[in-house]
Amino acid sequence: MTTRDPHRSVSLVRTANGSFRATNARGGTLDFGSGQDDRFTPVELLLTAIAGCSAIDVDIFTSRRSEPTEFEVTAEGDKLRDEQGNHMGPIDVTFTVRFPEGADGDKAREVLPDAIRQSHERLCTVSRTVMLPTEVTSKEA
């Protein structure tokens, strides 16, 4: 489902100590927590969002030419605590994408580097938002 409305939102409810459920406007839910169990933490969700956004971009460009035989994306970095407060250090996004032999696979391999570059430089809303100065405000309702 594609929407033309540029506004995006999620709401969170506390489900237990250190546990939350996010709900999007379409009714999808995602449980996450503070790291006390196997659920994703907010930082892991940030890495997931960065990798996922770029993966979608790259998949759209390459799979038009050939279905991948392997498609894995890893996002990683160090969580830092310094004079700037808590934040992530540089985040590396690594694509491991393979295509079958043949002309279609060759076409997909040919566009892969450009697809990764375009996602990073202009298409991936998540990583672009992290890289640009983006104001985030917090307030009490």
pLDDT single digits (tens) 6-40: 999 999 999 999 999 999 999 999 999 999 999 99
pLDDT at 1 over 60: no
Measure the CA–CA gap between 116 and 2, rounded to whole angstroms: 22
pLDDT at 118 over 70: yes
SS3 84: coil
Give the pLDDT band (50/70/90) at residue 2: low
Taken as a whole, the chain contains a residue count of 141
- Taking the mean position of all CA atoms in its chain, how far away is CA 11? 19
CATH of domain 41-131: 3.30.300.20
Measure the CA–CA gap between 61 and 66, rounded to whole angstroms: 10
Residue with tokens 């104001």: 135
pLDDT at 104 over 90: yes
Residue 33: the pLDDT is 98
pLDDT digits (tens, 9 = 90+) for 34-91: 999 999 999 999 999 999 999 999 999 999 999 999 999 999 999 999 999 999 999 9
